[in-house]
A and B are shown apart, each in its own frame.
Chain A
Amino acid sequence: MIKFILKKIGKLIGLLAAISILSFVLISYSPVDPVRSYIGAEIARISPEQQKNIEAYWGLDQSKPQQFLQWAKAVAQGNLGNSLIYRKPVSEIIIERFTASLALMGLAWLFSGVLGFFLGILGGMNEGSTLDRFIKTYCFILASTPAFWLGLLLLMFFASYLGWFPVGLASPAGILSEEVSFVDKINHLILPVLTLSIVGVAGIALHTREKLVEVLNSEFIRFARAKGESGMKLLWRHGLRNISLPAISLHFASFGELFGGAVLTEQVFSYPGLGQAVVKAGLGGDVPLLLGITLFSVVFIFFGNFMADLLYVAIDPRMKIKTVND
């Protein structure tokens, strides 16, 4: 087990190093001038010398490899640099933003998982029925739905038309964050969570359905029926036991899509999470923040995949015994 974890951590470090290099190269070839985007519209009022000074301050006058080495050294020490648009350490912003995103993504992940699993079971149990076809069609349509459009629709209907929810922002404007009540926060969270949950259902539902159909057609279900087991007991003892582990594992492995959905959803609802920050960083040419969030998102996805693998190793008896013997 320890060997397994160490191996994974080694892989993560290699991955982060490779991605650092690659994204640094990508960003350094961008036509977006960081000084220009830092100063904004007032660039005309700044002399070329002052510009040079800023460049020197950021180390922009050095060669690209030198810049990278400097940045990489700092990152290795846990210093992701300072954000240009927020004028705060990147790590601070990531922590703050991720906390907000975590509430959104975590809830949506849970809801879509439970709902998707349930829908998948309903469909799989009634394979070929109208209900099954309805669920399948619903999932395929969902898979083609742009997350941001769904968010827009929900926002239009529930917030503007019915007026049940506020339009955007995780907390009311103009109020200090300490004063924002818990109810307020929940109020701003419901629609984004709903959007992200609906979008996330498709994958897990289709997977669960497929697996359940496969299991129900298996020899061991036939045998269990021949032994006189039937109904919910049969489904519980032999069906769910065999499909839940792969389903949970798949759901963990879908952190990438979750993150992508969160980026779009946060943009629509002006939800101050990590997704909104990465969009701002990209649009504003905030290189340190962009790089920081990229690395963080890699760790996030990696964690999901790691959990997916770990579940098998820790729970499935077939894997457990294999790793012990290895």
Chain B
Amino acid sequence: MSSMEKTPLSETKEMQPLLKVRDFSLAFPQYENGFQETYIQVIRDFELSIYPGEIVAVVGSSGSGKSLLADSILGILPENAKTGGKIYFEGTRLTKRRQEQLRGNAISLIPQSVKALDPLMKTGKQVQSIVRDKKAKKRIQREAFQKLGLPANTDKKYPFELSGGMARRVLIATAMASEARLIIADEPTPGLDKKTLREILQNIKQLSENNRGIMFITHDIHAALKIADKIAVFYGGETLEIARKEDFSGDGENLRHPYTKALWRALPENDFKALKGNQPEAGRVPKGCVFEPRCPIATDFCKKNKPKSEIINNGMVRCFYA
């Protein structure tokens, strides 16, 4: 085990990554029995790199804490949150101050819910607020709307007058109107019908055209495979595997982690066999490998020791038996 070199994935590439996250952890304080304050770990040992023009999907079932990732990178976590590890943007460490300067500027968010639109403000104005150039903002907003196929009068409408698909496109337009080099799409496709889903995915793909990097947070592995270049599998607050899209094929023999394999096999067009059990709740994570309680190949060793991340076959994995 120890003979294997621990090499972060990012160092295998020459180009400088747009976003690099290393050993990131996130915890919230919790008051148990009275006044004692303990911390509840939501994310730990998270790592990820995104290169310009690349779409990296972070796939995890709901409750895995993936939505908090977006808040962490943007620096809009609640004040009591405690973070650890390092986040680099274009090679420089992201500090709180830098996050404040960059968000809405170099880093843009596509939020999960259409409720992210202020109910009492016209959509056009909401999109324009991300454009720093005061004179050009109207033009930029109109162009974005046009590109995304939104009717011209949409900017004069209030959010409640839009259909779900339109509101979603307005949210994407906000990212498009920005000068962001990194776009974090936080679960942008929940509950859409097939046609709208395809269009929205297309729109997100469109965003990456200008050499923008996209972090695509989703629980839908299907959607992820349609547009992403790399897939990071997020489970119980950790990255278990980062695989290329091509690895998801056949029986999943190119996949490295048993959880990823199980996910792949659970898809309807494959075996359609779901894995039993649930991922551990935040704060109730086992001491050893997070996946051990549900893992078909787990041993006693996995119970006691935590696997480190390693590079196998050009992908990252966190498993002793990969």
- A and B bind: yes
Chain B residue contacts of A316, Cβ below 8 A: 120
Q: How many residues of A contact B (CB 8 A)?
A: 20
Encode contact with B along A215-226: 1 for CB under 8 Å, 0 otherwise. 000111011111
Within 8 A of B (CB), among A216-249: 218-220, 222-230, 237-238, 241-242
| A225 touching B76, Cβ below 8 Å | yes
Report the minimum CB–CB distance from A32 to chain B (whole Å). 53
Q: In the complex, A238→B117 CA distance in Å?
A: 10
| B103 touching A242, Cβ below 8 Å | no
| B160 touching A226, Cβ below 8 Å | no
Q: In the complex, A74→B95 CA distance in Å?
A: 78
Among A222, A242, A317, A321, contact of B111 (Cβ-Cβ < 8 Å): A222
Report the minimum CB–CB distance from A216 to chain B (whole Å). 11
Chain B residue contacts of A228, Cβ below 8 A: 100, 103-105, 130
| A226 touching B158, Cβ below 8 Å | no
Closest to A244 in B: B120
| B109 touching A223, Cβ below 8 Å | yes
Cβ of B209 within 8 Å of any chain A Cβ, yes or no, is: no
Encode contact with A along B99-143: 1 for CB under 8 Å, 0 otherwise. 010011100110111011111110000000110000000000000
Q: In the complex, A238→B118 CA distance in Å?
A: 7
Cβ of B74 within 8 Å of any chain A Cβ, yes or no, is: yes
Among B100, B120, B158, contact of A230 (Cβ-Cβ < 8 Å): B100
Cβ of A3 within 8 Å of any chain B Cβ, yes or no, is: no
Encode contact with A along B14-56: 1 for CB under 8 Å, 0 otherwise. 0000000000000000000000000000000000000000000
Q: A222-B76, A226-B76 are in contact. Are A318 and B116 (CB under 8 A)?
A: no
Which residue among A227, A229, A316, A321 has the maximum number of chain B CB atoms within 10 Å of its CB? A227
Q: A226-B103, A226-B109, A230-B100 are in contact. Are A219 and B158 (CB under 8 A)?
A: no
Interface of B is mostly: loop
| B104 touching A226, Cβ below 8 Å | yes
Closest to A215 in B: B118
Within 8 A of B (CB), among A291-326: 316-318, 321
| B118 touching A241, Cβ below 8 Å | yes
| B116 touching A222, Cβ below 8 Å | yes
Which residue among B71, B100, B129, B171 has the maximum number of chain A CB atoms within 10 Å of its CB? B129
Among B108, B113, B160, B174, contact of A219 (Cβ-Cβ < 8 Å): B113
Report the minimum CB–CB distance from B39 to chain A (whole Å). 18
| A223 touching B111, Cβ below 8 Å | yes
Chain B residue contacts of A225, Cβ below 8 A: 74, 76, 103
Cβ of B251 within 8 Å of any chain A Cβ, yes or no, is: no
Which residue among A218, A224, A242, A316 has the maximum number of chain B CB atoms within 10 Å of its CB? A224
Chain B residue contacts of A321, Cβ below 8 A: 158, 161
Report the minimum CB–CB distance from A217 to chain B (whole Å). 9
| A227 touching B119, Cβ below 8 Å | no
Q: In the complex, A203→B174 CA distance in Å?
A: 38
Chain A residue contacts of B74, Cβ below 8 A: 225-226
Encode contact with B along A68-107: 1 for CB under 8 Å, 0 otherwise. 0000000000000000000000000000000000000000
Report the minimum CB–CB distance from A233 to chain B (whole Å). 10
Interface of A is mostly: helix
| A219 touching B116, Cβ below 8 Å | yes
| B119 touching A220, Cβ below 8 Å | yes
Chain A residue contacts of B130, Cβ below 8 A: 227-228
Encode contact with B along A243-269: 1 for CB under 8 Å, 0 otherwise. 000000000000000000000000000
Which residue among B71, B120, B130, B160 has the maximum number of chain A CB atoms within 10 Å of its CB? B120
| A242 touching B104, Cβ below 8 Å | no
Q: In the complex, A238→B116 CA distance in Å?
A: 11
Chain B residue contacts of A227, Cβ below 8 A: 103-104, 108-109, 129-130, 174, 178
Chain B residue contacts of A237, Cβ below 8 A: 118, 121, 129
Q: In the complex, A223→B104 CA distance in Å?
A: 9
Q: In the complex, A232→B117 CA distance in Å?
A: 19
Q: In the complex, A119→B171 CA distance in Å?
A: 34
Q: A226-B108, A226-B111, A228-B103 are in contact. Are A318 and B119 (CB under 8 A)?
A: yes
Chain A residue contacts of B71, Cβ below 8 A: 222
Chain A residue contacts of B120, Cβ below 8 A: 241-242, 316-317
Q: A226-B111, A227-B103 are in contact. Are A317 and B158 (CB under 8 A)?
A: yes
Q: In the complex, A220→B174 CA distance in Å?
A: 13
Chain B residue contacts of A218, Cβ below 8 A: 115
Q: In the complex, A34→B278 CA distance in Å?
A: 78
Q: In the complex, A19→B115 CA distance in Å?
A: 44
Chain A residue contacts of B160, Cβ below 8 A: 317-318
Q: In the complex, A50→B121 CA distance in Å?
A: 73
Q: A220-B115, A222-B116 are in contact. Are A229 and B104 (CB under 8 A)?
A: yes
Report the minimum CB–CB distance from A321 to chain B (whole Å). 7
Which residue among A219, A226, A227, A228 has the maximum number of chain B CB atoms within 10 Å of its CB? A226
Q: In the complex, A177→B71 CA distance in Å?
A: 67
Q: In the complex, A222→B77 CA distance in Å?
A: 9
A-B contact pairs, 11 of them (CB 8 A): A220-B117, A226-B109, A227-B174, A228-B100, A229-B129, A237-B121, A237-B129, A242-B119, A317-B120, A317-B158, A318-B160
Query: Given known contacts A224-B129, A237-B129, what 17 new A-B pairs fall within 8 Å (CB)?
Result: A219-B112, A219-B116, A220-B115, A220-B119, A222-B116, A223-B171, A225-B76, A227-B103, A227-B108, A227-B178, A228-B100, A228-B103, A228-B104, A230-B100, A237-B118, A238-B121, A318-B160
Q: What 7 pairs across the A-B complex have the smallest Cβ distances?
A: A228-B104, A223-B116, A226-B109, A227-B104, A219-B115, A219-B116, A220-B118
